[in-house]
């Protein structure tokens, strides 16, 4: 969740509205919410680094590759607005995705090495290349702001110790 939080912080700092599926009603199907978000998003960011087992015999989670497929499908077959989508694919190591998801070989997948500073760099640099006319802060500056933000939360929170990993998008 630290990577997710760093990514959300970076996107918010860059001025983007972050749309992420957060269960609002237990009666809702999560995939319906994800499809709605993909349908109205100009940008899609998918981190494939969580396709791994934590214990022997455990089945890996394939939510992110599935969601990436939905996003690529929207870009390929969707409305004219959806066909203009930009998609960033992230991984924690280079080329590991080829084992489970070889069909995306040849895509420009950015590597974050499981480090918040690197996921910030990947996202910032991606937007910087796309938005050539817009000046973005350096990734090192964003990362320092992120560290200051998380430290301020720890110092200024009154009550039980805050669990930064459990922040929702609206908490930023």
- State the helix-helix crossing angle for 139-156 and 2-13, rounded to 10 degrees: 110
- Phi and psi, residue 45, nearest 5°: -120, 125
> Mind listing the pLDDT tens digit for each residue in 131-154?
988 899 999 999 999 999 988 877
CB 19 within 8 A of CB 40: yes
- pLDDT at 161 (0 to 100): 63
CA distance 135 to 168: 28
What tokens does 159 get?
Answer: 């009550």
């Amino acid at each position: 969740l630290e990577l997710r939080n760093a990514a959300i912080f970076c996107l918010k700092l860059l001025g983007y509205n972050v749309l992420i599926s957060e269960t609002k009603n237990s009666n809702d199907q999560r995939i319906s919410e994800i499809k709605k978000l993909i349908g109205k998003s100009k940008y899609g960011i998918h981190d494939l680094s969580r396709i791994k087992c934590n214990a022997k015999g455990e089945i890996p989670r394939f939510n992110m590759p599935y969601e990436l497929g939905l996003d690529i499908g929207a870009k390929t077959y969707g409305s004219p607005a959806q066909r203009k989508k930009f998609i960033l694919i992230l991984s924690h190591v280079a080329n590991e995705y080829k084992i489970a998801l070889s069909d995306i070989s040849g895509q420009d997948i950015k590597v974050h090495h499981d480090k918040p500073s690197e996921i910030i760099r990947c996202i910032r640099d991606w937007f910087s290349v796309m938005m050539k006319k817009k000046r973005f802060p350096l990734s090192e500056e964003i990362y320092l702001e992120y560290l200051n933000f998380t430290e301020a939360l720890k110092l200024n929170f009154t009550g039980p110790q805050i669990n930064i990993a459990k922040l929702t998008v609206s908490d930023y």
